[in-house]
Chain A
Amino acid sequence: MDVNVIYNVEHEMHLGTLIALYFYLTGLSAGSFIISTFAYGFGMVKYKPLGKIGVVMATLLLIIAPMILLIDLAQPLRFWHLILYLRITSPITWGTFLLTLYPINCMIYGYFMFKGNLKRTKIFGLIGIPLALMVHGYTGFILALGKARVLWNTAIMPPIFLVSAMVSGLAMMILVVIVKDYFIQRGKEHDPTLIYGLGKLLVVSIVLDLILIGIDLTVLLTSHTEAYIAALMLLEGSFSHLFLGVEVFLGALVPLFLLLFPLTKRWVPGIAIASVLTMIGILAMRYIMVVGGLTIPLS
């Protein structure tokens, strides 16, 4: 039976790219903070060169990220309402406090690290890990608790966000190390085993990320009508090029191949390409989640 919609109203959704970018930057920040604690929190000496870069990147990114949120507000000058009139059921309120505490902790952690006070560095590093996880986990909750949007409203959203944060953070760290070793300190001798080690971690997190995306898609495909339509949108609708082409193929499968294939896995430019592709793939994933989720009509 044919159905034609003669008249309907769809309100324009003023939310999208900026929020996706914000999620991406918090993910990068959380990822690089956790990598920075490998050496200073857990004593893995191999990753010691990453400690300082990690904490600087984490702090810088987490200073930029809330600025994007402020720009996205329709009334940026009323941002102080978030602290004065908080509502504890809203994930944005959780974020208000996490986004305040986390950069402060990052700075204290970084201060002690640069001072060389290893004991205090370790304490603040270990405090920072749950904070970093929560700062990025809460962005998953923002989407998961927006229950009108079927692509968002899934319990797997916070874990997907955490794993993809790890993926993009590792990829960014690999790039930072490559830039440091091969461009800034070109004359010095350097040891590529650090890059290979990070590459292995990247492989593990990409595989985990793919598994979580697969789980999400499987449930969407077999769940209720709206979920099925959302899965179709990703697989053959308007977001299929971005999802299958950029996020899954370029952002996960090609890097996996480059990092696992015997000829390329010890080839530094190959690892660099894999990292860039991974970062693009995760950015695409954030965009698909936020903008794709909002595209599905409600009325």
Chain B
Amino acid sequence: MVIDLRRCIGCHTCSVACKAENRVPLGVYRSWVKIIEKGNYPNISRHFLPTLCNQCDHPPCVINCPVQATWKLENGIIIIDEHRCIGCKYCLASCPYNARHINPLIPIVQKCTFCHHRVYAGLEPACVEACPARARIFGDLNNPQGEVAKLLSKHPFQVLKHEMGTYPQVYYIGADLDAMDPFAGRKEWM
């Protein structure tokens, strides 16, 4: 997935579409938009960072799950078997992107699956379809004629926490470093 932040307007439609499509309970999110403001008046700007599971190529959650309840499909999407998960929460602790959450209603771990059920049926993920600014582009990176490969060939892009060696598969065009930094503008947790 490519998220083109030059187009993002910070409307949270992706978050709402995800909640509706996947019936995500109150209090947890599988896709959300981080918003930061930076600078001093009058030189200020606001930046968005839509965040979701990065469907890593080398996923620490899959390596660390002790019961094979989460694994990577052939198309690269990482899914969770809700009936096998024992809720040890080790995957939550291993995920560098804060993408996983405990479902408050049924105590198991869940996360964004790129709307696997929709992809399987030939549709796009709900957030991609709902985005009014067409900031999210979904497709196969290995298809050289696809829009994802074209965008990434032509534009400078970033991924989140490249240094973790997880090879995340959500690519950002025009992301702001301060929005990507978990510590920027935050002292209160210390």
Contacts and interface: CB of A to CB of B under 8 A. Distances in A.
A295 B86 contact: no
Interface residues of A, number: 53
Given A5-B186, A295-B189, A10 B98 contact: yes
B46 A148 contact: no
A299 B84 CA distance: 28
B39 interface: yes
Interface residues of B, number: 52
B39 A11 contact: no
B34 A225 contact: no
A1 B98 CA distance: 26
Interface string B106-117: 011100000000
B65 interface: yes
Interface string A74-107: 1100110110111101111100100000000000
B95 interface: yes
Contacts of B98: 9-11, 297-299
A296 B186 CA distance: 11
Interface of B: 27-29, 32-40, 46, 51, 60, 63-69, 84-90, 92-98, 100-102, 107-109, 163-164, 178, 182-186, 189-190
What is the predominant secondary structure among interface residues of chain A facing chain B? loop
A7 B28 contact: no
Contact of A74 (B64, B87, B190): B87
Contacts of B35: 5-8
A250 to B, nearest CB: 22
7 contacts: A5-B185, A78-B86, A86-B68, A145-B60, A147-B96, A148-B95, A298-B96
B102 to A, nearest CB: 5
B185 A4 contact: yes
A4 B176 CA distance: 13
B66 A296 contact: no
Interface stretch (A123-131, A206-214, A231-239): A231-239
A3 B37 contact: yes
A226 B96 CA distance: 12
A96 B183 CA distance: 36
Nearest to A233: B190
A90 B93 contact: no
Contacts of B69: 81, 85
B186 A75 contact: no
Contacts of A294: 93
A7 B186 CA distance: 12
A9 to B, nearest CB: 4
Given A3-B184, A15-B92, A74-B108, A85 B97 contact: no
